[in-house]
Amino acid sequence: MRAVVCDAWGPPESLRIGELPLPQPGPGQVRVRVHAAAANYPDALMVAGKYQFRPELPFAPGLEFSGVVSAVGDGVDTLRPGDKVVGTATHGAFAEEVVAEAGHLVALPADTGDEALAVAASFLLTYGTSWHALKDRAQAKAGETLLVLGAGGGVGLAAVELGKRLGLRVIAAASSQAKREAARSRGADATVDSAAGDFRDQVRAHAGKAGVDIVYDPVGGPLTETALRSLAWGGRHLVVGFAAGDIPKVPANLLLLKGTALLGVFWGDFVRREPAASAANTRQLLEWLRDGALQPLVSQRYPLSQAPAALSALLARQAVGKLLVLPQLAD
């Protein structure tokens, strides 16, 4: 089958378009004909050999996708060929077909159209991460103030939307006018320029002297400490990722002085370790998606041959919202 192939650890430019054997589903697994796959920061980390999990070379990257079931393994009775699904895999979605655990797939209505099926591929990881972060980890309460770093990216925009659903006042921080406008379009109450030298003063102008109650941080780098200093008494700082590339070293005394908490958010392990809670979250999110209460922003679609360019755009922090790879899209 046609796939994006990683032969050695390196940058997205080292990937090639080639052939890989058609994967066969084992017990408890399902093979899906990929309709769309989302480009995510962990995909780029995996290609570079810097992710928590290293597949055996060669492999196809891509962990989030939607499509149609083409085969099921032994013991799978919840799905059958022809079912439309959205889900995640350890890797392999930048290809014509991918294998995933049945428990990591969610069936979609049979009448789901091609466009809705494509948009669904952009949904689970970003909204799942942000909902788990805000609801489960931060235990956000209506009326609190949320500062979202990287608010123009996929998880950032999801955090903006979900923060508003929770009744939070949302301050969106992003490095470009286009990203700040995207955050506004998803309900942000205020925006700040995260690339400006007076970033902390901008936040204070919107949050007041008390500070913000929650920081949603998928960026890392120098912004982390600045945002941490902007927390109110009893505030929570959610560590979601390190899109800036640098893992910050946080002065522990900042946590002590304001009674704040630094909370790690690892949605992938949450799904594996707490499947019942994760499934309940997913059901709620998909219900909101079907009702139109959540509106994922897909800003660009790439054919399979341009998947490396999608990952490069992510690493350069050029993407607004989500980027999709469609194996059937003409080059």
Catalogue all structural domains in the chain, each as residue range(s) with its CATH number: 2-123+297-326 (3.90.180.10), 126-268 (3.40.50.720)
Tell me the pTM: 0.90
Q: What is the pLDDT of residue 261?
A: 97
Q: What is the pLDDT of residues 158-177, one digit of tens each?
A: 999 999 999 999 999 999 99
CA distance 204 to 288: 32
How many CB atoms are closer than 10 A to CB 135?
A: 16
pLDDT score at 51: 87
- Give the model confidence (pLDDT) of 294-317 as tens digits: 999 999 999 999 999 999 999 988
Q: pLDDT at residue 154 above 80? A: yes
Tell me the mean pLDDT in the region 47-52. Answer: 90
